[in-house]
Chain A
Amino acid sequence: MEKGPAGASPWRLAARRLRRDKTSIAFGFVFILLVAACLAAPLWAEHVAHTTPEANHLSDTIEIDGETVNVVGFDGVPIGPTWQGEFFLGADGNGRDVMVRLLYGGRNSLLIGITAALLTTLFGVLAGLFAGYFRGWVDAVLSRLMDIIWAFPVILLGIALGTSLALGGLKIGPISIGGASLAIPILVISIVYIPYLARPIRGQVLGLREKEFVEAARAQGKGSLRIMFSEILPNITSTILVFFPLLVANAILLEAALSFLGAGVQPPEPSWGTMIDEGVERIVTAPTMAIVPGLMLVLTVLSLNVFGDGVRDALDPRAKVKVDR
């Protein structure tokens, strides 16, 4: 057993275990760096590359070592990495700066991944809490709903929802979302992952609701909502924290897969998925276009996976965490 100072809370012990896990901390730091780099996209675009993610430079030329080179050759082959401010990683088929698009695309990929994971967490925790606490018909309805979502392969449900919503957009009462809006992939991804969180939480809540402290709260006359949110919720926080990094990682991967297939982020809006899609089409002549966004994706997801493992080991090493793709 680990020895802590007398009265140290489990949270403090977990935080200390995580701090000692140098690898996890290092990868968590890598993730923060990636986020910071993507947030700084406008700075790079304006001060270093002097362009925007959408600007075409099809007929422009650029100076490299005193020589004038076309950004996109007469044969349609874009310039490769120049390793200088403008077109640092080369251009794509439309003469757009790959480095600038990579950073802006990263903003979209990360925004979608993190927002979708937050929404999944919100929906998943609510569904798990209500199903586990109220049981009976509430549980029956919610659990069947989870079973149905669970029955679909993640990617197929994503494609079905993604294409269907991209066609006409979405209109619920006063809220209207256009077909090309980023809100659509966010919504789609957050829905398909709900059961992966809701099911284990429901299981935990079923056990917790029988505990003495819940009974004590009920005896004090606390209402169901108060008990759920101030008594039970704090006890499932560690499960939520263990799941969250993995949800973000898988949401980012699913965004990339959906965008690659054309059912996620819609061009010309950049994301790592759409960039890989465009890159694979030109992989013979301009391989950087496909390789670089993929590397960013792998690095981001890897850092989240390693950090997520560290969080799990620190909080709850026995937790069974599984998120499908």
Chain B
Amino acid sequence: MARFIARRLASMVLVLFAVSVLTFLIFNVIPNGDPAVRMAGKQPTEQQIEAIRKEWGFDKNIVVQYGTTMKKLFTGDMVSYFTQLSVTKEIWKGLPRTLSLAIGAAIIWMLFGVALGLYSAMRAGGISDRLLTVLALIGISMPVFWIGALMNQYLGFELSNKLGFELFPNGGYVEFTDNPFEWFRHLILPWFALAILFIGVYSRVLRSNILDTVNEDFVRTARAKGLSERQVLLKHVLRNSLIPVVTLWGLDFAVVIGGGAILTETVFNLQGVGQYAADAIGQLDVPPILAVTMFGAFFVVFFNTVVDIVYAALDPRIRLESGETAT
């Protein structure tokens, strides 16, 4: 196990390094033109460009440039030339908002995905199964920024006008520490908007997993030893069918925190990390986009490694598959 962890961590460090090089190349090297002009944003003055060229070392060789960029990123002295604010500080500020959104949505999509997938599988072929399949497909096909904007408008804005009081607020965010109830109320619509896609995916995956597992030998054994149908389904079929869904859950959760929530945050004006990058696009303000891309990919790589290690700890077969000899 220790060797597995060591190897996994070593490969993580390699991927992190490669990811940082690719991000660096995308912003500092790929396009033609002067990177200093690009960093400076839409309407820079000559002096600004000159200052940025010095600061980032764009006149030095590329290895030094990479070092400077990484140093600026981690010491927190990378600033947006549009707002003059420290990029790292702004990201820290947005992080609790992104986490609040991601955690709540992940719980919702897991609960609904499992419930609907299980129900669909139990009624496989029936009317309610078909209806759920259609709904899941529509959910998968809907862009989150579109359904989110409609929810915001019709359930947030117009419903409040009709009712005379605000059931769901029309976007915005309240800190949990300021008022937990308002925090919850402001996040309900974003949670569901973000969860719709995943509910569709998970219920379909679980449904087909259950239908596969039902034919396994151990299910027949469970029935043969006289367990009730309910016990067979919950204790044997569901538990085994959930394994791939839980893997998916870990990976999707990481992606949502690492930047996948960008559209939801923007539509509901939650001011999280993703929206910080999204707002920078309009100004062509490169440093925030660079930092969010890099940190987002870092987080995904890191989280995937953790998931792998946890899995290996739970299931020795994985350790063996990836090359470690049994001891």
Which chain A residues have a beta carbon within 8 Å of chain B's beta carbons?
A: 144, 147-148, 151-157, 159-161, 163-171, 249, 253, 256-257, 260-263, 276, 280, 283-284, 287, 290-291, 294, 297-298, 301-302, 305-306, 309, 324-325
Q: Which of B141, B260, B263, B296 contacts A302 (CB 8 A)?
A: B141
Question: Closest A-chain residue to B32, C-beta based?
Answer: A171
Closest CB-CB distance, A98 to chain B, in whole Å?
Answer: 16
Q: Which of B138, B258, B262, B284 contacts A261 (CB 8 A)?
A: B262
Q: Contacts A283-B149, A297-B143 given; indicate if A153 touches B282 (C-beta within 8 A).
A: no
A168 near B263 with CB under 8 A, answer no
Contacts of B157 in A (CB 8 A): 284
- CB pair A160–B26 under 8 Å, yes or no, is yes
Q: Is the CB of B18 within 8 A of A163?
A: no
Q: Which 8 A-B pairs have the closest CB atoms?
A: A168-B31, A168-B33, A294-B146, A156-B259, A302-B141, A301-B141, A153-B259, A171-B32
By the criterion CB–CB under 8 Å, are A159 and B277 in contact? yes
Over the window 245-259 of chain B, the binary record of Cβ atoms lying under 8 Å from chain A Cβ atoms (1 yes, 0 no) is: 000000000010011
Closest residue of A by beta carbon distance from B21: A148
Counting contact residues on chain B (CB < 8 A from A), the size range is 35 or more
Whether the pair A157, B281 counts as a contact (CB closer than 8 A) is: no
Please give me the residue from chain A that is nearest to B212 by CB atom. Answer: A318
Question: Is B153 part of the contact surface with A, judged by Cβ < 8 Å?
Answer: yes
Complex CA gap A249/B143 in Å reads 11
A151 touches B297 (CB 8 A): yes
B214 near A: Cβ within 8 Å? no
A-B contact pairs, 30 of them (CB 8 A): A148-B15, A148-B22, A151-B304, A152-B293, A153-B258, A153-B259, A153-B297, A157-B293, A159-B281, A160-B26, A160-B289, A160-B293, A164-B286, A166-B284, A167-B286, A168-B33, A169-B31, A170-B30, A256-B146, A261-B263, A261-B266, A261-B278, A276-B145, A280-B145, A283-B153, A290-B146, A294-B147, A298-B143, A298-B146, A324-B255
Known: A154-B260, A156-B297, A161-B26. 10 other contacts (CB 8 A): A147-B18, A153-B255, A156-B292, A167-B31, A168-B31, A170-B30, A263-B281, A276-B145, A298-B142, A298-B143
CB distance from A185 to the nearest CB of B (A): 13
Please name the residue on chain A nearest to B17 by beta carbon: A148
- Decide if B197 is an interface residue (CB 8 Å cutoff): yes
Chain B residues within 8 Å of A, Cβ to Cβ: 15, 18-19, 22-23, 26-27, 30-33, 38, 137-138, 140-143, 145-147, 149-150, 153, 157, 197, 255, 258-260, 262-263, 266-267, 277-278, 281-282, 284, 286, 289-290, 292-293, 296-297, 300-301, 304
Select which of A151, A159, A260 is within 8 A of B145 by beta carbon: A260
Residues of A within 8 A of B197 (CB): 325
Residue of A nearest to B140 (CB): A305
Question: Measured between alpha carbons, how far is A144 from B18 in the docked complex, in Å?
Answer: 9
Q: What secondary structure prevails in chain B residues at the interface with A?
A: helix
Contacts of B260 in A (CB 8 A): 153-155, 325
Q: Would you call B258 and A284 a contact (CB within 8 A)?
A: no
Q: A147-B15, A160-B26, A257-B263 are in contact. Are A167 and B296 (CB under 8 A)?
A: no
| Residue from A170, A260, A306, A324 having most chain B Cβ neighbours under 10 A | A260
B23, B147, B149: residue with the most chain A Cβ atoms closer than 10 Å = B149
CB neighbours (8 Å) of B140 from chain A are 305
Residues of A within 8 A of B282 (CB): 262
- Measured CB to CB, the closest approach of chain A to B202, in angstroms, equals 12
Give the complex CA separation of A291 and B157 in angstroms: 16
Query: A167 near B38 (CB under 8 angstroms)?
Result: yes
- Is A152 within 8 A of B143, CB to CB? no
User: B38, B146, B290: which has the most chain A beta carbons within 10 Å?
Assistant: B146
Minimum CB–CB distance for A123 against chain B, Å: 16
CB <8 Å contact, A168 and B38? yes
Query: Judging by beta carbons under 8 Å apart, are A170 and B296 in contact?
Result: no
On whether A152 and B138 interact (CB within 8 A), knowing A261-B262, A261-B263, A261-B266, the answer reads no
Instruction: Pick the residue among B38, B153, B292, B301 that contacts A151 (CB under 8 A).
Output: B301
> A156 with B293: in contact, given A276-B143, A302-B137 (CB under 8 Å)?
yes
- On whether the beta carbons of B290 and A160 are closer than 8 Å, the reply is yes
> When chains A and B are docked, how far (Å) is the Cα of A153 from the Cα of B296?
7
| Cβ 8 A contact of B32, one of A170, A297, A302 | A170
Contacting pair A284 B153 (CB below 8 A):
yes
- Chain A residues in 8 Å Cβ range of B300: 151-153
Q: Does the CB pair A294–B30 fall under 8 Å?
A: no
Taking a contact as CB atoms closer than 8 A, the residue among A152, A169, A257, A325 that contacts B296 in the complex is: A152
A276 to B149, CA, bound (A): 9
Point out which of B32, B145, B278, B301 has the most chain A C-beta atoms below 10 A from its C-beta: B145
A151 to B12 Cα, complex, angstroms: 11
